[in-house]
Every structure is written in C-alpha cells, then in structure tokens.
C-alpha cells in the first residue's frame, strides 16, 4: 500500500467513527431498552429474548472495533476493508429480508443506512489505501503506523 495523505486516512477514520456511533447506539438500545424501542420502530421482538441480547452485544462489539479503526485507520486498514464488506453484506441481508417478508419494514431503512456507510467507507478506502484489495494486503515495505517506507 502506497503511503497516502494523512487527510485521506483521517477521513476514513471519521467514517468509521460515524459507523461506530450508529452501531453502538443500536447495540445499547437493544441491550437496555428493546421493549420500549420496539413499538416505536414497529419491530417484532424475537423469542427467546436472548437472541436480541446477542444482537445487541455483537453490535456493541462492532462499534468498538470501528472505534479502533477510527483511532488508527492506516494500521487497521485490513480491518476497515473487512468491515466495509460486512456493511455491504448487512445491507444486502436486510434488503432481501424486507423484500421476502422475513424482516420488518424498518429494516429497509437500516439497509439504506448500511449501504450508505459501506459506500462511504469504500470510496475513502480507495482514496487512502488504493482500494479494498490494497487495504487487505498492505505493502510489507510500508510502516502502517506512519506510512513511511521501511
């Protein structure tokens, strides 16, 4: 991966901060207020409730990983690439779920949000790292912390 401008890496990090805020907000809401939030979003809660607890925990974990990427986007470029692919996967999963009746309609909005974040991450990864593949396989001759050639 060629060293790119710090501004591109900073923008990538900020996009992951936005993703962290979204995932942490949903995760915490699921863990502490699912029964209060569900009617407002017109969501059907799963049974047994442990499935929802697991979803909340996983969203909080993803949010924490995104915070790490925000703090060190160049060093964690491979994580950013995988997370971007997962965002695209989540968008597709939610869209198909709504289209087939397997998911409540509110998930259409979540699909759009995930798709928007994934596209922003993809564009910024291209600008900072040269693309998804370049981010997944960083140049071994470049220090990912500083971007300097070794």
Asked whether the bond before 48 is cis by omega within 30 degrees of 0, the reply is: yes
CA distance 129 to 6: 11
Residue located via tokens 């915490």 = 28
Burial of 24-33, coded b for 16+ CB within 10 Å and e otherwise, reads bebbebbeee
CB of 118 closer than 8 Å to CB of 88: yes
Q: What is the pLDDT of residue 2?
A: 47
Any idea where the domains of the chain sit in the sequence? Answer: 6-136
Q: What is the pLDDT of residue 150?
A: 59
Nearest to 124 by CA among 64, 60, 93, 80: 80
CA distance 17 to 67: 6
Query: Which of 4-8, 64-68, 119-123, 127-131 bottoms out in mean pLDDT, i.e. has the lowest?
Result: 4-8
Beta pairing partners, 149: 142
Backbone CA torsion sign across 50, 110, 64, 138: positive
For residue 64, is pLDDT > 70? Answer: yes
pLDDT in tens, 15-48: 999 999 999 999 999 999 999 998 988 888 988 9
pLDDT in tens, 104-150: 999 999 999 999 999 999 999 999 999 888 898 766 666 555 556 55
């Amino acid at each position: 991966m060629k060293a790119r401008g710090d501004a591109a890496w900073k923008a990538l990090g900020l996009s992951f901060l936005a993703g962290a805020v979204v995932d942490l907000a949903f995760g915490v809401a699921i863990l502490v207020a699912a029964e209060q939030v569900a009617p407002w979003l017109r969501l059907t809660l799963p049974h047994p409730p442990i499935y929802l607890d697991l979803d909340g925990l996983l969203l909080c974990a993803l949010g924490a990983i995104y915070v790490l990427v925000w703090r060190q986007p160049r060093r964690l470029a491979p994580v950013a690439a995988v997370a971007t692919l997962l965002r695209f996967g989540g968008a597709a999963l939610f869209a198909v779920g709504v289209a087939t009746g397997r998911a409540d309609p509110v998930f259409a909005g979540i699909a759009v949000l995930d798709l928007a974040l994934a596209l922003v991450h993809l564009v910024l990864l291209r600008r900072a790292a040269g693309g998804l593949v370049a981010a997944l396989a960083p140049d071994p001759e470049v220090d990912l912390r500083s971007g300097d050639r070794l």
